Copies of this chain bind each other. A is one copy, B any other.
Amino acid sequence: MTRALYVGRFQPFHKGHLETLKWILERCDEVIIGVGSAQYSHQLDNLFTAGERIEMIRRVLMSEGLTDRCLIIPIPDIGQHSLWVSVVRQFCPRFDVVYTNEPLTRRLFLEAGFKVEGIPRFNREFYDATRIRRLMAEGGDWESYVPSPAASFIKEIGGVERIKDLLRSDKVP
């Protein structure tokens, strides 16, 4: 059995993430979805709590019938790049391969002796979390870029109001 690691912040989990996940599941038996920067929320770049992101992803996985082959694991950010791979290993079950295009993530796992694979670009400019959050803040059509169960969940918890409050805050960098 092959188990892959796929890490991201998933702020929010969008259609590009889902396409990537399906593409990895064609190549591996199981995928650990590592929800990074897990301790942060209520920031412009880290909008949702880890728990909210887990719920958002889980609802999408259920509607796609993918729960059995995926583990969703929150991973705190320790703030020191040289320790990060060890933190991931502490929080996650064993994995055989890491799928990422992120150059630093790739480098840190390679330096630690892991097998690392790239991911095809599924319309990366199109499905971009920063752009989706900006659409949320500006009242644009963010919902087209997010799987429908995730979009419903975001509306349910008042995610759009949250980002608007953050934009008006002095305390948010």
How many residues from A make CB contacts under 8 Å with B? Answer: 50
Number of copies: 6
Inter-chain contact B71/A68, CB cutoff 8 Å: no
Known A76-B76, A89-B82: A54·B71 in contact at CB below 8 Å: yes
Inter-chain contact B73/A54, CB cutoff 8 Å: yes
A99 to chain B, nearest CB (A): 16
13 A-B pairs within 8 Å (CB atoms) are namely: A39-B80, A40-B80, A42-B108, A49-B82, A51-B89, A51-B93, A51-B94, A67-B68, A80-B90, A82-B89, A104-B169, A105-B169, A113-B113
Chain A contact residues, CB within 8 Å of chain B: 38-43, 49-52, 54-55, 58, 67-68, 71-74, 76, 78, 80-83, 85-87, 89-94, 102-108, 113, 162, 165-166, 168-172
